[in-house]
Structure 1
């Protein structure tokens, strides 16, 4: 069972309750509810901020690919944070890209790079590179 006396002495000790001021059980309960509500709101906000910071954009491509270079320049100009994985130099990045393309039901027969993974939404370079950049611009 919750001891109101314990809480009273604790609050008295940290200066919330003064000798000349006594708190009723309802007041103490109200303070507890207020504290817990505030605490849960702070935790929810921190969780939301963490989720926002975990958003990621991955660009799979090659350092020798003109469209990949143009894509990186475009994202840099827009100050978009992204991770570039060179599929020519990193076999694991290539495997990861192919797995994501399969899961997105994108044909592996004629892949055009760069391939973009925007938080699980995967798309590739299209025949019209400007359309591809327009799609990137909407992120």
Structure 2
């Protein structure tokens, strides 16, 4: 039958010049014992007795680890309120982006506000100039009061 044998030394040859499937210093019971020990060392407790033994090995001053919430799933009211505030600000800045010319999507928030202020000041200057032109108009379009 075909079997796999783990060996820690090089295979030895016997008198017939063939490789031996097992060396003299290998014991199948020892190999089985080692594999079983590895399996139990890296597996979860199977019985309540094993679990009890495991619980006694935990230090008294240990702190249980907290499982973090998934990204975007905060449950604290302040976190939720802060996320809603950021969402509202982002929405308003996108509307501002649509209103102000020459504003790219990559523009930072501070640059967006600077461009918006400059644009509004330019519009105010244009309105002022149009009022002055209307005051100085001689075409008769202005109603006399």
**So what's the TM-score if we normalise by structure 2?**
0.21
Larger Cα-atom Rg: 2
The structure richer in strand per residue is 1
